[in-house]
Chain A
Amino acid sequence: MRDVAIVATGMTPFGELWQISLRDLFVEAAREALDAVDRPSLDGIYIGNMSGGQFVGQEHLGPLMADHLGVAGVPATRVESACASGGAALRAGFFEVASGASDLVLVAGVEKMNDGADVTGVLATAADQESEVYHGITFPGLYAMIARAHMEAYGTTEGDLAIISVKNHRHGALNPKAQFRQEVTLEQVMTSSMVSEPLRLLHCSPVSDGAAAVLLCPLDRAREFTDKPVKIRGSGFATAAMALADRVDLTALEAVSLSAARAYRAAGVTPSDIQVAEVHDCFSIAELCVLEALCFAKPGGAAELTRAGETTLGGRVPVNTSGGLKAKGHPVGATGVAQAIEIVEQLRGEAGARQVQGATLGLTQNMGGSGASSVVHIFERV
C-alpha cells in the first residue's frame, strides 16, 4: 500500500441553494479542486451521494457527473452509505490510490435536499423500513430515543445537549461557507420548537444543498501539485446493527468505536494524539455519543468535556471547528468530504478565524443512519 495525500479541495457554500442543480453543485466543487492544480487528467472519480434518486429522481450519478465535469470517459462510481456516503467515497478513493491502481482520483460528495422532496421521509429510508419506519419513526426520533437512553444511563440533561449546539454555532459563525453564520444562545436552543422529544429544532442539523471535493494522489507525487499536501494516515470503517432496537446498549455507537479503533491502529496513533476533529453531529446527542465512542471521553463523560470548553476553539481538542453539521449544514452525501476539507484547511494553517494553532494531526468521523455505519479518517500535515 502506498501513502496517499489530499492535494486540492473545492466546496460550494452549504445552504438552501435553490438556483443550483445537483449536477452543478458537483461541478462547482469538483472544478474548484481541479482548477487549484491546473486540471490534471483524472484516473477515477468517486461520488458520495445518499439519495439522488429520491431527492431529485436522479440515479446513475457516475456518468452524469463525469459528463458534466467535461471528463466523460473517466471511470466514475457513486458510493452510498446514507449520511456516511461522503466518508465512504473518500475511503474508496483512498484505497484505489493506495493500491497503486490509480494515481489521480477525485472524490466528491454531493446532495440536493431542497428540491421539494419529503425530506423527513427520504432520510428515514436510511433506517430499517420493515421494523422501524413502518411505525412512523423519524431520524430525529431515533436520535431522540438514543438521547433519552443516554439521559437514563448517565443523567445527561437537555442543557448538556444544548451546549453542543451553542458551541457549534459559535464555530459556524466563523465559517464563510456555513449555512448558519450566527451564534445561538443556550436559551434559544432550549426554547426552540420541539422536533422529537427531547430534541428541539436547534439540536438538529438543517436540510442543506451542497457539494465538496478533494483530489487524491500518491504522497510521492503530491509535491507536483502543492507544497502543502495532507497525508491520509489511516482509514477505518465499520457497520453495526441496522435497527436501533437490535443494539444491546442504545447509548454506545459500536460502529463508531470499531471504525475509530481501526483508524487509530492503521495510523499508529491514540485518541489523545488528535488535535482537531470533525465529527458527525447530525443531532446534538450524536456529538456526545461520538466523542465517547472515539475515546475522547469515557462513556457518559462527553458532556463534562464539552462544558469544560475542551472541545471549543482554544480548548485541548477543538471539535467541529467548521460549525459541524449543525451550523455548517448537512447535505448528507457531501458531509464526509466537507469534514475532510475542514481538517485539510486546519492542517495547512488556512482555517482563518477558526485556526487551531499548530495542528498537525486531525480526525474526521462520518456516520450513516442511527449509527449503523461509520467512517473515520486520520490526517497528518507532512
Chain B
Amino acid sequence: MPSPRYWREIPSRYRLEAGRCTACEKVAYPARRICPGCGGVDFEPLRLSLRGRIVTSTVVHVGPDEFQMEAPYPVAIVETPEGARLMVQVADCEPGECRPGMEVALEFRRIRKEGLSGILCYGYKAVPVSHEQGEV
C-alpha cells in the first residue's frame, strides 16, 4: 500500500472515526463527502463504540496471497450501536464459533504486513465479548 494512502486512512483505521450527517443523522463509516442517505454534505465527526454484533460472517479458507498464511480466518460484518457496519476479521475464537448475532468487542490489532520491508498495517479486529482482554 502506498504510504500516503496509509497515512490518509489513519483516522478511520486507528480511531474508528465515522461521520454523522447533521441533516438525517445517518452514520457513514468510513466517512464520506456526501451522505448516502439524504445527499447532505455536513457531517459531525463521531468515534464508533468498540463493540457490536455480527450481522453475517464467513471463514476464509482460500485467501489472497498475503493472507493465505493465516487461513482459515473468520471475517464478519459487525454493526456498532451507532448503526455503522464494518468488515472486520474475528480473532481469538474458533472459526466455527463466529456466527450471525454474536456480540463482539473491537480491538486494535495488526491486520497485515506487506512483505519483508513494507508497511505494517493496523486496524480493528472483532473478538468475542467473552474473550475480550481490555476494557471496552
Contact = CB atoms under 8 A, between A and B. Distances in A.
Contact of B36 (A130, A148, A244, A246): A246
Kindly state the interface size class of chain B when it binds its partner: 35 or more
Interface string B25-65: 00001100000100000000000000000011111111111
Contact of B87 (A118, A137, A152, A193): A137
B131 interface: no
A149 interface: yes
Contacts, number: 101
Contacts of B88: 135
Interface in B71-97: 72-73, 75-77, 85-89, 95
A196 interface: yes
Interface in A165-184: none
Given A120-B62, A131-B30, A195-B62, A137 B75 contact: yes
A246 to B, nearest CB: 7
Contacts of A130: 9, 12, 30
Contact of B61 (A136, A137, A197): A197
A145 B56 contact: yes
Nearest to A124: B64
B121 A134 contact: yes
B128 to A, nearest CB: 17
A148 B60 contact: no
Interface string A104-145: 000000000000001011001000001111111110110011
B100 interface: yes
A153 to B, nearest CB: 10
Interface string A145-170: 11011001000000000000000000
A243 interface: yes
A193 B57 CA distance: 19
B58 A243 contact: no
Contacts of A351: none
A382 interface: no
B62 A196 contact: yes
Interface string A287-319: 000000000000000000000000000000000
B112 interface: yes
Nearest to B78: A245
A145 B9 contact: no
Contacts of B13: 134
Contacts of B59: 194, 196-197
B58 A197 contact: yes
Contact of B111 (A136, A138, A140, A250): A136
A193 B86 CA distance: 28
Contact of A194 (B61, B87, B100): B61
A205 to B, nearest CB: 14
Nearest to A201: B62
B87 A244 contact: yes
Nearest to A140: B62
Contacts of B112: 134, 136
B63 A250 contact: no
Given A138-B60, A197-B59, A246-B85, 6 more contacts: A137-B87, A141-B58, A145-B56, A146-B56, A193-B61, A196-B61
Interface of B: 9, 12-13, 29-30, 36, 55-67, 70, 72-73, 75-77, 85-89, 95, 100, 111-112, 121, 123
14 contacts: A120-B65, A121-B64, A124-B64, A131-B29, A135-B75, A135-B89, A135-B123, A136-B75, A136-B112, A137-B75, A138-B64, A196-B60, A245-B77, A245-B85
